[in-house]
Amino acid sequence: MLSAIGRVFRTPDLRRKLLFTLGIITIYRLGAFIPAPGVDYGNVQQCLALGNTSGGLYQFVNLFSGGALLQVSIFALGIMPYITASIIVQLLRVVIPRFQELHQEGAQGQSKLTQYTRYLTIALGLLNGTTLVSLARSGALLGDCPVPIIPDDSLIVIVLLILTLTAGTGLIMWMGELVTEKGVGNGMSLLIFVSIAAGFPSSLGEILRAQGVNIFIGVIIIGLFTVAAVIFVEQSQRRIPVQYAKRMIGRRTLGGTSTYIPIKVNMAGVIPVIFASSMLYLPSLVAQFNTPTDGTTPPPEWVNWINTFLVSGDHPVYMAVYFGLIVFFTYFYVAITFNPEEVADNMKKYGGFIPGIRAGRPTEEYLSYVLSRITLPGALYLGVISLIPLIALVLINANQNFPFGGVSILIMVGVGLETVKQINAQLQQLHYEGLLR
């Protein structure tokens, strides 16, 4: 393994890409600790020391920002506006025919969709920045904090703060695209990977301090088994064989080859988990706005029900609803991203067929049947992995950012595998041996 790493750094082109990627990652992590203008860094640290920070979506976004959100730094919004914009643009392909046409136009259409994603990212950055500043001014972001986070809340300071947070999002988006173009791996995915990995030492240290060595060792062992299981499932796929008939074009004979359609067990990735977490936060947000603030008027019964069952992650009802939403959104997202009718039409157009299945409508029905069958274990797998932090919350009183489970482990394993594959492919272009033998 050490010799393989040595070959990576002895290859000039790959070494330059790796160093460029590490440089961008360093700048990204430094930005997570630079306070935004108008924010009192000392007061923020005092509020964080009290341990009354809000849970739910705040912790979820804080996970993707590498802790920058609750630090109220210049990179507080992190990569979340870009992720949200990418998902929205992808979903709009189903609603707006023009977006679907652009998707089918190849590189030029993809470039146009990327441009739309950038514009939407900046718009969402302005919206999220305004929301974050409002939460920071009201004290709702860091819980019951005795000192103000933004001492001077004049109009100029607030506008400057919102613009800085939005500019931070734009800078992160630009750095991610630079890594994709000039570095190694997918830039946006790597920045998310780094943000999540940055919280691992503190989370594990907290478990060691609060639960002792025995529980800590048990968590590490369970974490290793979880990582192995995630790698196994993420690499698993159903390969549907496809045979292409021979065709004569002029004097050339084309076709006659065999290939396959790879259908992964987890085709949806982490998108269903993000959707489910966002949907579960909405009831608590509505209940928060309908809770009386005078301290004497009791809240309505439906607000009490939401606060009892749909706010705390350790409640069985919350877990059941969370699991059900993940399964639903897995089927929903797979149905959007994989179109059996389109695949069947393309196969028929180029003379391809599945052995034993007629081209056209029978192929479409067969693909739909296989897709529905293979999506079920993928959805159950996502639900079980996502429940690990909530179960740990009950068993060992861990926080909701428990490292070995949920979105964190799915993203880290997926991005890690993809990055290693890219490094391995580039090594094999120059050497007979890749990174892994």
Q: What is the pLDDT of residue 430?
A: 65
**Cα gap 420→435, rounded to integer Å:** 8
Q: How far is CA 376 from the centre of its chain?
A: 21
Residue 262 belongs to what H/E stretch? strand 258-264
> Residue 49: is it exposed, middle or buried by C-beta count within 10 angstroms (0-12/13-18/19+)?
exposed
Class of domain 199-437: mainly alpha
**Cα gap 338→413, rounded to integer Å:** 23
Q: What is the pLDDT of residue 55?
A: 47
Provide the CATH number for the domain formed by 17-188 in this structure: 1.10.3370.10
**Cα gap 352→363, rounded to integer Å:** 10
Could you state, in order of their start, the residue ranges of all structural domains in the chain?
Answer: 17-188, 199-437
Q: What is the pLDDT of residue 255?
A: 59
Based on its alpha-carbon atoms, the radius of gyration of the chain, rounded to whole angstroms, reads 24
Q: What is the pLDDT of residue 171?
A: 93
For the chain, 437 residues long, the average pLDDT of each consecutive 10-residue run is 67 85 92 86 76 55 72 85 86 82 81 90 91 79 74 87 92 92 86 84 79 82 85 88 74 71 86 80 73 68 78 78 90 86 84 84 90 91 85 67 70 84 76 56
DSSP 132-178: HHHHHHHT-SSSS-SS-SSS---HHHHHHHHHHHHHHHHHHHHHHHH
Are domains 17-188 and 199-437 of this chain identical in fold?
Answer: yes
Q: What is the pLDDT of residue 45?
A: 78
Q: What is the pLDDT of residue 380?
A: 92
Q: What is the pLDDT of residue 170?
A: 93
